Structure 1
């Protein structure tokens, strides 16, 4: 019901190219989504992070896993040359909206549906996440990034995805992803991560995939097996908690950056 009003406000504010609010909220949440300002600002924040931490240039070949309806595709549209971006996601309506978007089509950005099972977002998916092989060749991308994807996946799934990312990255390429780093404490932005055992904790008692955080020992082990290595300490979000004497980001989750030898 809010879509027509949202569109009028977006057009007046120069954000008319963005998908309807009813689509944006599917992967970006309801909070502050009206008028598209938050959608726009988070896209630009991540574009800056990728440029500063992963050497993003105009001809960088980029894969985003969990692209939703294209929030970061819009954010990268002024940075990347035409055809340099590919986005995949398990939410079919979001992918359809991104594929049909006139602005992103002019940029020749590609979008593909990923029919992988996920208890929260795609419970009827054909393939389990811990068994999935991405349909891209080895050494295909300079940068692969995931925003709020591993925060909805369990350890075996994360391990397989990182292994596949290591295969798809070019030598010297970068993996950038967000998570909630449990080493800094199991409370983040008012959520208590007290469920689960071993390498992860969840804030949800029944469906752990709703919100998952990880310890860096597990992440490092996954990276090593995939031929990747962290480039430094996690970059901690200023939104969730205060961690003294660490590098921080304005993004809403903690950042991990790794490189392929």
Structure 2
């Protein structure tokens, strides 16, 4: 016999259930529509963190110092609400209102957030141009893992090189860099396939991108394949 939950009991539980540690206003969720239609940001964040943990060969992230460039909200939400172990988490983004929200809402001392006023035609058109000398207000060689999910997918080569050079300075000697990218070995070097040519969808020739990465002080360790639609191709790198 099928049992039906009394509607009043369900309503009472729903109203009194423990609230999540972090509830994020929808305006701060910049996941692509394709990803958002499949799962909430918190779910995709948890999935990506678990995938990254496995790719790094770690049993846990409990002692890892993670620097997440182009952070958005999903990793913070997933770590806090799913109680995912983490040594420390530092998020960097060019969205000032979102960074202000995270700074004011997250009290956990393992977390810190940095606003980088970097120019991007789509996301921050009035920001300052990136260079290889652009500085972050963070300690040098202090992070075990540096992640860039859906960042290089929106960068022209000069800006990609500036970002990779900048982050190299903050990576520990035995640290690792993981970034996602759109690859096409049928193009010579690079193509922006967004209709507006504003960095909305940037593709790289794999060999060209590998040379760019190595010119920024990195050694390529692995190149995991894409797992669409959640994640594009990836590069895992170590300091050269």
Structure-1-length-normalised TM-score: 0.75
Aligned residues of 1:47 and 1:72 also touching (Cα < 8 A): yes
2:200 equivalent among 210, 227, 236: 210
**What residue is the counterpart of 2:26 in the other structure?**
21
Look up the match of 2:65. Answer: 61
CA distance 1:37–1:90, change in 2 (3 Å)? same
The match for 2:215 is 225
* 222-231 or 158-167, which deviates more: 222-231
Task: State the Cα deviation string for residues 214-255 of structure 1 (Å, max 9, x = none).
Answer: 12222221222233222223321232xxxxxxxxxxx33222
Shift of 1:14: 5.7
- Segments of 5+ residues of structure 2 without an aligned counterpart are 1-13
- Inter-CA distance 167–11: structure 2 relative to 1 (3 Å threshold): farther
Task: Give the equivalent residue in structure 2 for 1:124.
Answer: 126
Do residues 99 (structure 1) and 103 (structure 2) align? yes
> Alignment partner of 1:236: what SS?
coil
In 1: Cα distance, 2:157 partner to 2:31 partner: 23
Task: Find the aligned partners of 2:218 and 2:141 in 1 and give their Cα distance.
Answer: 13
Tell me by how many angstroms 1:93 deviates: 1.5
Q: CA separation of 1:45/1:58 partners in 2, compared to 1, >3 Å: closer, same or farther? A: same
The one of 89, 97, 122 equivalent to 2:93 is 89
Cα distance change on mapping 1:76 and 1:16 into 2, 3 Å? closer
Residue in 2 that maps onto 1:72: 75
Distance 1:171 1:66 in 2: 22
- For the structure 1 residues 29 and 57, does the alpha-carbon distance in structure 2 shift closer, same or farther, using more than 3 Å as the test? closer
> What is the rounded CA distance, in whole Å, between the counterparts of 2:75 and 2:116 in structure 1?
17
Aligned residue for 1:116, secondary structure, equals coil
Displacement of 1:30 after TM fit?
Answer: 4.6
User: Following the alignment from structure 2 to structure 1, what is the Cα–Cα distance between the partners of residues 203 and 16?
Assistant: 37
Does the 8 Å CA contact 1:90/1:113 hold for their aligned counterparts?
A: yes
Question: 1:163–1:226: 8 Å Cα contact kept in structure 2?
Answer: yes
Query: Deviation digits for residues 100-138 of structure 1, max 9, x if unmatched?
Result: 22xx3225410111101111111111x212342323332
* TM-score, normalised by the number of residues in structure 2: 0.81
Q: 1:233 to 1:106 in 2, by over 3 A?
A: closer
Structure 1 Cα separation of the partners of residues 196 and 68 of structure 2: 29
**Cα distance in 1 for residues equivalent to 2:237 and 2:158:** 19
Residue 46 of structure 1 contacts residue 75 of structure 1 at CA under 8 Å; is this kept in 2? no
Number of residue equivalences: 222
Q: Which has the larger radius of gyration?
A: 2
**Counterpart contact for 1:40–1:71, Cα < 8 Å:** yes
- Unpaired stretches in structure 1, ≥5 consecutive residues: 1-8, 186-196, 240-250
Describe the shift of the 1:12–1:175 C-alpha distance in structure 2 as closer, same or farther (beyond 3 A): same
In structure 2, the partner of 1:247 is none
RMSD of aligned residue pairs (Cα, Å):
2.8
Aligned-residue offset at 1:162: 1.0
